[in-house]
Amino acid sequence: MAGLLLSPTEKNFILQGVQDDFRSDGRSNIDYRPMELETDVVSHASGSARLRLANTDILVGVKTEIDTPNPDKPGLGKLEFFVDCSANATPEFEGRGGEQLANSISNMMQRAYHSSQAFDLKQLCIFEGKQCWKLYIDILILECGGNLCDAVSLAVKAALFNTRIPFVKAALMDGGNIDLQLSDDPYDSKLLNVGSAPLLVTLCKIGDKCVVDPSAEEESCSVISLVVGTTGNSKFYCSQEEAKKLPNVESKCSTIGMNGAGSVAPKTLKDAIQQGLEAAKSLDKALGQALLRERQENISFKKHSYGFLK
Amino acid sequence: MTGHVSIRLASERVNHCVATMNEPPRFYTPGEVITGMQDFMRGHGTYTEDDCLKASVAGVMEKVNKLICIRPLKSRYVGEIGDVVVGRVLEVQQRRWKVETNSRLDSVLQLSSVNLPGGELRRRSAEDEQMMRKHLQEGDLISAEVQSVFSDGSLSLHTRSLKYGKLTQGTLVKVYPSLIKRRKNHFHNLPCGVAIIIGNNGYIWISPQNHEGVMEEQKDDDTVDQQSVSRSDRETMARVKNCIAALVASKMMLDDTSIMFAYEESLKYDSVKDLLDPETMLDISFLTQHRINNIMEE
Report the pLDDT value the prediction gives residue A139, as an integer from 0 to 100: 93
Q: Is the pLDDT score of A140 beyond 60?
A: yes
Contact B146, B156 (CB under 8 A): yes
Arithmetic mean of pLDDT, A104-126: 86
Residue, of B128 and B6, whose pLDDT is higher? B6
Burial A85-116 (b: 16+ CB within 10 A, else e): bbeebbeebeeeebeebbebbbebbebbbebe
Asked whether residue B68 is assigned to any structural domain, the reply reads yes
- Say yes or no for a CB contact (<8 Å) between A36 and B272: no
Asked whether residue B240 is assigned to any structural domain, the reply reads no
Distance CA A11, CA A6 (A): 7
- Say yes or no for a CB contact (<8 Å) between A37 and B10: yes
Q: Is the pLDDT score of B38 beyond 90?
A: no
Q: Nearest residue on chain A to B139, judged by CA atoms?
A: A7
Q: Residue A227, by phi and psi: left (phi above 0), alpha (psi -120 to 50) or beta? A: beta
Report the pLDDT value the prediction gives residue B214, as an integer from 0 to 100: 45
The C-alpha torsion from B35 through B36 and B37 to B38, rounded to 10°, is 110
Arithmetic mean of pLDDT, B259-269: 90
CA distance B44 to chain A (A): 26
Question: pLDDT above 70 covers what percent of chain B?
Answer: 89
ipTM for the complex shown: 0.84
Amino acid, single-letter form, for residue A38: E
Number of independent structural domains in chain B: 1
Asked whether residue B287 is assigned to any structural domain, the reply reads no
Report the pLDDT value the prediction gives residue B213, as an integer from 0 to 100: 46
CA distance A206 to chain B (A): 16
In this structure, the number of other CB atoms found within 10 A of the CB of residue A158 comes to 28
Is residue A236 helix, strand or coil? helix
Mean pLDDT highest for which of A204-208, B106-110, B227-231? B106-110
Identify the structural domains of chain A with CATH numbers, from first to last.
Answer: 27-300 (3.30.230.70)
Q: Is the pLDDT score of B119 beyond 70?
A: no
Closest CA to B264 of B239, B231, B237: B239
The partner residue sitting opposite B171, judged by closest CB among A24, A50, A282, is A24
Note which residues in 131-170 of chain A have CB less than 8 A from chain B.
154
Note which residues in 219-278 of chain A have CB less than 8 A from chain B.
278
Backbone angles phi, psi at A21, to 5 degrees: 60, 35
Asked whether residue B54 is assigned to any structural domain, the reply reads yes
Report pLDDT digits (tens) over B236-247. 999 999 999 999
Report the pLDDT value the prediction gives residue A11, as an integer from 0 to 100: 87
Question: pLDDT above 70 covers what percent of chain A?
Answer: 96
From A137-151, B109-123, B216-230, B267-281, the region with the lowest mean pLDDT: B216-230
Distance CA B47, CA B33 (A): 10
The pLDDT confidence band at residue B215, using thresholds 50, 70 and 90, is very low
Report the pLDDT value the prediction gives residue B121, as an integer from 0 to 100: 66
Distance CA B49, CA A234 (A): 60
The pLDDT confidence band at residue B87, using thresholds 50, 70 and 90, is very high
Task: Residue B58: give its domain's CATH number.
Answer: 2.40.50.100
Arithmetic mean of pLDDT, A93-108: 85
Asked whether residue B283 is assigned to any structural domain, the reply reads no
Report the pLDDT value the prediction gives residue B144, as an integer from 0 to 100: 93
- Say yes or no for a CB contact (<8 Å) between B10 and A281: no
Closest CA to B69 of B47, B39, B49: B47
Asked whether residue B64 is assigned to any structural domain, the reply reads yes
Arithmetic mean of pLDDT, B157-161: 89
Asked whether residue B66 is assigned to any structural domain, the reply reads yes
Long-range contacts of B219-228 (CB under 8 A, 24+ apart): B219/B117, B219/B118, B221/B117, B221/B166, B221/B168, B224/B168, B224/B169, B225/A8, B225/A9, B225/A12, B225/B168, B225/B169, B226/A12, B227/B169, B228/A16
Report the pLDDT value the prediction gives residue B2, as an integer from 0 to 100: 66
In this structure, the number of other CB atoms found within 10 A of the CB of residue A183 comes to 13
Helix (H) or strand (E) holding A62: strand A56-67
Report the pLDDT value the prediction gives residue A100, as an integer from 0 to 100: 86
Residue spans of alpha helices (H) in A94-250: 99-114, 148-162, 216-221, 240-245
Question: pLDDT above 90 covers what percent of chain A?
Answer: 11
Asked whether residue B137 is assigned to any structural domain, the reply reads no
Q: Sort out which chain B residues have CB atoms less than 8 A from A38's CB and list them.
A: 9-11
Give the list of residues 6+ apart from residue B186 with CB closer than 8 angstroms, or none.
B84, B197, B198, B199, B200
Q: Is the pLDDT score of B120 beyond 90?
A: no
Report the pLDDT value the prediction gives residue B199, as an integer from 0 to 100: 92
Q: Sort out which chain A residues have CB atoms less than 8 A from B5's CB and list them.
A: 31-32, 35, 282-283, 285-286
Q: Sort out which chain A residues have CB atoms less than 8 A from B87's CB and list them.
A: none
Contact B141, B166 (CB under 8 A): yes
Arithmetic mean of pLDDT, B50-71: 89
Q: Sort out which chain B residues have CB atoms less than 8 A from A24's CB and list them.
A: 171, 237-238, 241
- Say yes or no for a CB contact (<8 Å) between A7 and B271: no
Report pLDDT digits (tens) over A33-74. 888 888 888 888 888 999 988 888 999 999 998 888 888 888
Report the pLDDT value the prediction gives residue A154, as an integer from 0 to 100: 92
Arithmetic mean of pLDDT, B165-194: 89
- Say yes or no for a CB contact (<8 Å) between A34 and B276: yes
Q: Is the pLDDT score of A218 beyond 80?
A: yes
Mean per-residue pLDDT of chain A: 84
Q: Is the pLDDT score of B156 beyond 90?
A: yes
Q: Please give the DSSP secondary-structure letter assigned to residue B116.
A: P
Q: Please give the DSSP secondary-structure letter assigned to residue A223.
A: S
The DSSP bridge pattern shows strands A47-53 and A56-67 to be antiparallel
Report the pLDDT value the prediction gives residue B219, as an integer from 0 to 100: 46
Report pLDDT digits (tens) over B219-238. 445 555 566 778 888 889 99
The pLDDT confidence band at residue B216, using thresholds 50, 70 and 90, is very low
- B64 lies in which domain range? 18-72
Q: Sort out which chain A residues have CB atoms less than 8 A from B241's CB and list them.
A: 24-26
From A26-35, A245-254, B274-283, the region with the lowest mean pLDDT: A245-254
Burial class (CB in 10 A: 0-12, 13-18, 19+), B53: buried
